[in-house]
Amino acid sequence: MSIDRDTARKVAHLARIRVEEGDLDALASEFNTILGFIEQLQEVDVEGVEPMVSVTPMRLKRREDVVTDGNQQARVLANAPDAREGFFAVPKVVE
């Protein structure tokens, strides 16, 4: 499996990371190095093996579905690059 510049462009977009056209070939080449390394996994016999979901056999804790926290709008917004009138502000989303 070899990654070309179109795939690199597509992956960058999926990851929402802007990559300039001029940098796509280098990116594709790095992907290929890393994927070449990962490719070794294809030689392992995994027949009948379940994919791991939890590294330690534990039952996740349950708790009552009740509000435990809240009423701190100002603190939630304190680190926002742009907060207005109690909301996070972003560029226009709908036309």
Partner 1 sequence: MSDLPKLTIAAARDALRKGEVTSVELTEACLAAIDGAEALGAFVHRTPELALERARAADERLKAGGAPDLCGIPLGIKDLFCTEGVPSQAASRILEGFRPEYESTVTAQLRDAGAVMLGKLNMDEFAMGSSNETSVYGPVVNPWKVDDRQLTPGGSSGGSAAAVAADLCLGATGTDTGGSIRQPAAFTGIAGLKPTYGRCSRWGIVAFASSLDQAGPMAKDVRDCAILLKAMAGHDPKDSTSADLPVPDFEAALTGDIRGKTIGIPREYRMDGMPEEIEALWAEGRQMLEDAGARIVDISLPHTKYALPTYYVIAPAEASSNLARYDGVRYGHRAKLAQGDGIVDMYEKTRAEGFGAEVKRRVMVGTYVLSAGFYDAYYNRARKVRALIKKDFDDAFAEGVDAILTPATPSAAFGLGEMAEADPVQMYLNDVFTVTVNLAGLPGISVPAGVDRAGLPLGLQLIGRPWEEADLLSTAYALERAAGFVSKPRKWW
Angle 64-65-67 from CA coordinates, rounded to 5°: 110
The three-class DSSP label of residue 35 is: helix
- Other C-beta atoms closer than 10 Å to the C-beta of 61 total 5
Binding of partner 1 at residue 67 (CB under 8 A)? no
One residue of 22, 37, 67, 71 binding partner 1 per CB under 8 A: 37
Binding site for partner 1 (CB under 8 A): 3, 7, 11-19, 27, 30-31, 33-35, 37-42, 44, 46, 49-56, 58, 60-61, 63, 72, 75-76, 78-82, 88, 90-93
